[in-house]
Amino acid sequence: MDKFRGSLLAGAVGDALGGAIEFEHIDAIRARFGPSGLTDFAPAYGKVGAITDDTQMTLFTLEGLVTARKHGTDPLWDVRAAYGRWLHTQGGPPVKAEGWLLEHPGLFSQRAPGTTCLSALYDKDAFGTTGDHINNSKGCGGVMRAAPVALWSEDIDEVFALAAGTAAITHGHPSGFLSAGVLAVVVQQLLAGASLEEATAEARGELIRWDEHEEQLELLDLAVQLSGRGKRPTAELVETLFGGGWVGEEALAIGLYAALAAESLEDGLLLAVNISGDSDSTGSICGNILGARDGVEAIPERWLEAVEMVDVLHESADEAASTFGVYA
pLDDT digits (tens, 9 = 90+) for 186-229: 999 999 999 999 999 999 999 999 999 999 999 999 999 999 99
CB atoms inside a 10 Å sphere around CB 96: 9
Cα separation, 95 vs 61, whole angstroms: 16
Q: What is the pLDDT of residue 204?
A: 98
| Nearest partner of 67 among 56, 77, 57, 53, judged by Cα | 77
Residue type for position 222: L
Task: Write the pLDDT tens digit of every residue in 251-292.
Answer: 999 999 999 999 999 999 999 999 999 999 999 999 999 999
pLDDT tier for residue 327 given thresholds of 50, 70 and 90: very low
Which residue, 325, 312, 200, 297, is CA-closest to 256? 200
**pLDDT cut 90: percent of the chain above it:** 95
Give residue limits of the domains in the chain: 2-39+139-309+316-327
Q: 88-127 pLDDT, tens per residue?
A: 999 999 998 888 999 999 999 999 999 999 999 998 888 9
Q: What is the mean pLDDT of residues 37-47?
A: 97
CB 147 within 8 A of CB 328: no
In this prediction, residue 238 carries a pLDDT of 96
Nearest-angstrom CA–CA distance, 81 and 124: 9
- Give yes or no for residue 328 having a pLDDT over 50: no
Residue 1 has pLDDT above 80, yes or no: no
Tell me the pLDDT tens digit for each residue of 283-302: 999 999 999 999 999 999 99
CA distance 53 to 182: 21
Q: Say how far apart CA 120 and CA 26 lie, in whole Å.
A: 31
Residue 326 has pLDDT above 90, yes or no: no
pTM here?
A: 0.98
Q: Residue 97: what pLDDT?
A: 84
Q: Given this model, what pLDDT does residue 258 score?
A: 98
- pLDDT mean over 51-67: 98
* Beta-carbon count within 10 A of 194 CB: 17
Task: Please state the rounded mean pLDDT for residues 24-30.
Answer: 98
2-39+139-309+316-327 folds as ADP-ribosylglycohydrolase fold (1.10.4080)
Q: What is the Cα–Cα distance from 110 to 173, expressed in whole angstroms?
A: 25
